[in-house]
Amino acid sequence: MSWKFFVSHSLPLFFLFFFYSFPLISTQHNDDPTFKTMHDFSGYPVDESSHTFTPSNSISLSVDIQALQKQIDELSTFSDTPAPSVTRILYTENDVLARRYVKNLMGLAGLSVTEDVVGNIFGRWDGYEPELTAVATGSHIDAIPYSGKYDGVVGVLGAIEAINALKRSGFKPKRSLEIILFTSEEPTRFGIGCLGSRLLAGSEALAEALKTTVDGQNISFFEAARSAGYSRDEDDLSSVFLKNDSYSAFVELHIEQAPILEEEGISIGVVTNIAAPASIKVDFEGNGGHAGGVLMPDRLILPIVTIFFL
């Protein structure tokens, strides 16, 4: 459900670039014929009525880079493995402490914080037309064993600092801006990736499957969720499903998990294609035999199928 912005350097500034520059670009893109906006690329017409906000030149934005880095460092200490690695598994004590840390920062930023029964966390800054659907951003803070401190975290803490910077500048959003911390983007504990966002997207199949899902220690999903303070009212997850018109836009800021931007010295990239990994379970039927000894003609089906899969 996301656009991902890949960033290697200067990330907070670029995050603000997103909030601030599209209205400007859409009104100025005729000046320079080589300049292309997302609207140009998308082929969709620009809806001028949705770009009524014009930033005044007097607004100055200051991102507190030191504060943001300090928060990223502090969050990384909620880990099951020693620094510089981060291991933060869904619904463990460190996950709960990290969530508390983020909710506290959201509160300090003046956001109204809510959580659903699986622990998706929402921090909302009401716009001056709060009946309009919100613009959302966010990411995850769970971390696979021995990962780094930026994956996911940048999209959550960076968003909080972006809102802080906008607030400091005196900016008032028309639409509400919302930061979402998605539960369990990583499949580490239950083998299910993007658990929170898939439920938000209304996956009945996942809601059903979670009723019988256990982790490697045979702890059920609901038992684990309850140990972290969620899902108190047993196992009905339909309350997590979002209504269709909940958000008007979503953007995710993310580190680049590859070397390209850094090698090229490029500060930011915009994703145009996204990997959509899938896994399938295949049963092969046939007559097997010892590799090398049993020749292909004496095996059934297996050679053809295997060649197809290789």
Closer residue to ligand NAG, CB minimum distance, 214 or 271: 214
Is residue 34 at the binding interface for ligand NAG, with CB under 6 A as the rule?
no
Is residue 212 at the binding interface for ligand NAG, with CB under 6 A as the rule?
no
Q: How far is the CB of 241 from ligand NAG (least distance, A)?
A: 8
Closer residue to ligand NAG, CB minimum distance, 218 or 279: 218
d(CA 178, CA 12): 17
Among 30, 56, 218, 279, binds ligand NAG (CB under 6 A): 218
AA letter at 45 = P
Please answer whether residues 17 and 9 qualify as being in contact, where contact means their C-beta atoms are separated by less than 8 angstroms: no
Residues 241-280 that bind ligand NAG (CB under 6 A): 244
Closer residue to ligand NAG, CB minimum distance, 3 or 241: 241
Q: 3-state DSSP: the chain helix, strand, coil percent, rounded to 5?
A: 35, 15, 50
> Nearest to residue 137, comparing CAs of 3, 290, 288?
3
Q: How far is the CB of 222 from ligand NAG (least distance, A)?
A: 12
Is residue 217 at the binding interface for ligand NAG, with CB under 6 A as the rule?
no
Is residue 57 at the binding interface for ligand NAG, with CB under 6 A as the rule?
no
Q: Report the DSSP beta bridge partners of residue 135.
A: 177, 249
Residues 6 or more apart from 121 whose CB is under 8 A from it?
99, 102, 103, 106, 113, 114, 115, 180, 181
Closer residue to ligand NAG, CB minimum distance, 54 or 244: 244
Six-digit token string for 17 = 């670039």
Six-digit token string for 12 = 């907070």
Size of the site for ligand NAG (CB under 6 A): 2
AA letter at 66 = Q
Q: How far is the CB of 203 from ligand NAG (least distance, A)?
A: 13
Q: Which residues bind ligand NAG (CB under 6 A)?
A: 218, 244
